[in-house]
């Protein structure tokens, strides 16, 4: 099994970047990956952009105060190969306003459409290219400078084999007549990554997993503790989970609501970093929540009014889902690849009569609607006769 590392060129000056731009103008497909710092900072950003062109590896350092304007414009015009492109495209957009103007080939999407179970880049390269790559620096702090040689080698290796992997997967997709599935999925991903994020709802942003079971009093404490954590994370430029995990927050909520007079020191174990001023501010936040008059308690989240459901909607959905499972088994993919539960629910409720109507009401891609049309048509006809 081959584990040979490939050389790379580290780009951290405007002169080196200008030379790279000239080379990029003469190339076709570019295999690209990024490294971000979401595991280490509150304000996440792209810290490295690594790519391979003409069997040569390059690592561009955006933190080296480079003028990336021309580089990003050229990159946007080139067909790109990525693994799990949705994350990379969203991060490039949020950090630099980058939106690709060409096609992409997502190797993870391709693997999903081919029915592979292990979808990680390292696993796919090992299985299909017989190359063993290291995961050692996967969770590195990519914003820290200088970077180690091991970090740079890890980043460089990530893209070198993407061309080969993409060619293998493309060939398999073509053989199974699924290449157009992949093309549609990639276009949908590009559109999704280019969309503006909806504004944050201040009444939902602090509701963590498990909070739907809390009463009004407990929700009031939760809101106070969540905002305390968010303020501490912002001030320290750390991801919120490094200040306090959600499980600890839920334990604090239960303790404080059941023991409103007891000091927090008698409650659940707190992170070591929760001391001094940080702990005093937490106690103040909890005390303020405990002293909130009942008329000011947080109200339970108002559930969105359910869509009007026609008779037999659930039965139709189950019938369609059963058909979807049979198709998935025949194609050797997971049912969610063919149609999600949400898509099926929309179809069952809206009762579309054509492929175009299926796409419109459920947000399926055209290839999904075409595959599912006979199943949907049969399910609707069956229940109309009953």
| Each residue's pLDDT tens digit, 94-131 | 999 999 999 999 999 999 999 999 999 999 999 999 98
Residues forming a β-bridge with 9: 58
Say yes or no: 348 and 274 in one domain: no
| Full 3-state SS string of 232-275 | HHHHHCCCHHHHCCHHHHHHHHHHHHHCCCCCHHHCCCCCCCCC
pLDDT of residue 1: 45
Is residue 377 pLDDT above 70, yes or no? yes
Look at residue 347 and tell me whether its pLDDT is greater than 90: yes
105 DSSP β-pair partners: 81
- Tokens found for residue 231: 């303020």
- Cβ neighbours, 10 Å, residue 193: 21
In a domain, 162, yes or no: yes
- The DSSP letter of residue 62 is G
Residue 20 sits in the same domain as residue 165: yes
- Examine the domain organization and report whether 106 and 31 are in the same domain: yes
Rounded to an integer, what distance in angstroms lies between the CA atom of residue 233 and that of residue 144?
18
Q: Are both 146 and 259 inside the same structural domain?
A: no
pLDDT value of position 78: 97
CATH of residue 259's domain is 1.10.150
Q: Are residues 281 and 328 in the same domain?
A: no
Q: Is residue 200 part of a domain?
A: no
State whether 76 and 132 are in the same domain.
yes
Q: Same domain for 41 and 163?
A: yes
Q: What is the CATH number of the domain that holds 347?
A: 1.10.150.80
Q: Which strand (E) or helix (H) includes residue 295?
A: none
Number of structural domains in the chain: 3
The domain in which residue 331 lies consists of: 313-385
- What band does 164 get if pLDDT is binned at 50, 70 and 90? very high
Say yes or no: 31 and 177 in one domain. Answer: yes
Q: Tens digit of pLDDT for each residue in 255-300?
A: 999 999 998 989 999 999 999 999 999 999 999 999 999 999 998 7
pTM of the model: 0.88
**Beta-bridge partner residues of 58:** 9, 51
Strand, coil or helix: what is 131?
Answer: strand
Chain segment 74-90, per-residue pLDDT in tens: 999 999 999 999 999 99
> What gap in Å lies between CA 283 and CA 266, rounded to an integer?
12
State the Cα–Cα distance between residues 160 and 4, nearest whole angstrom.
11
Helix residue spans in the chain (DSSP H): 14-25, 69-76, 85-96, 107-113, 121-129, 149-160, 162-175, 179-194, 216-236, 240-243, 246-258, 276-290, 313-331, 335-338, 341-350, 355-362, 366-385
């Amino acid at each position: 099994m081959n584990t040979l590392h490939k050389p790379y060129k580290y780009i951290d000056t405007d002169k080196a970047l200008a030379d790279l731009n000239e080379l990029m103008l003469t190339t076709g497909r570019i295999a690209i990956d990024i490294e971000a710092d979401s595991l280490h900072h509150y304000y996440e950003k792209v810290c490295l952009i690594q790519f391979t062109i003409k069997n040569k590896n390059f690592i561009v350092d955006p933190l080296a105060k480079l003028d990336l304007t021309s580089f990003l414009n050229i990159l946007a015009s080139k067909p790109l190969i990525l693994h799990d492109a949705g994350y990379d495209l969203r991060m490039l957009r949020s950090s630099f306003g980058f939106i690709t103007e060409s096609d992409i080939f997502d190797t993870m999407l391709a693997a999903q459409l081919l029915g592979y179970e292990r979808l990680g880049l390292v696993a796919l390269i090992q299985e299909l290219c017989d190359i063993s790559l290291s995961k050692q620096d996967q969770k590195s702090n990519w914003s820290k400078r200088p970077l180690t040689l091991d970090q740079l080698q890890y980043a460089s290796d990530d893209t070198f084999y993407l061309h080969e992997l993409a060619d293998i997967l493309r060939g398999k997709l073509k053989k199974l007549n699924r290449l157009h599935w992949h093309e549609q999925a990639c276009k949908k991903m590009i559109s999704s990554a280019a969309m503006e994020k909806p504004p944050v709802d201040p009444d939902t942003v602090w509701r963590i997993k498990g909070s739907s079971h809390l009463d009004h009093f407990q929700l009031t404490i939760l809101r106070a503790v969540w905002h305390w954590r968010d303020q501490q994370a912002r001030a320290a430029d750390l991801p919120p989970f490094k200040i306090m995990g959600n499980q600890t927050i839920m334990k604090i909520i239960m303790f404080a609501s059941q023991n409103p007079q007891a000091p927090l020191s008698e409650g659940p174990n707190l992170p070591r970093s929760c001391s001094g001023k940080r702990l005093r501010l937490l106690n103040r936040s909890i005390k303020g929540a405990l002293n909130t008059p009942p008329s000011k308690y947080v109200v339970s989240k108002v559930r969105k009014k359910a869509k009007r459901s026609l008779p037999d909607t659930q039965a139709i959905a189950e019938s369609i889902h059963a058909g979807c499972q049979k198709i998935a088994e025949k194609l050797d993919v997971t049912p969610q690849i063919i149609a999600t539960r949400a898509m099926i629910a929309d179809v069952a409720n809206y009762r579309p009569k054509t492929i175009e109507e299926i796409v419109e009401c459920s947000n399926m891609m055209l290839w999904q609607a075409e595959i599912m049309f006979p199943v949907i048509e049969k399910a609707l006809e069956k229940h109309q006769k009953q």
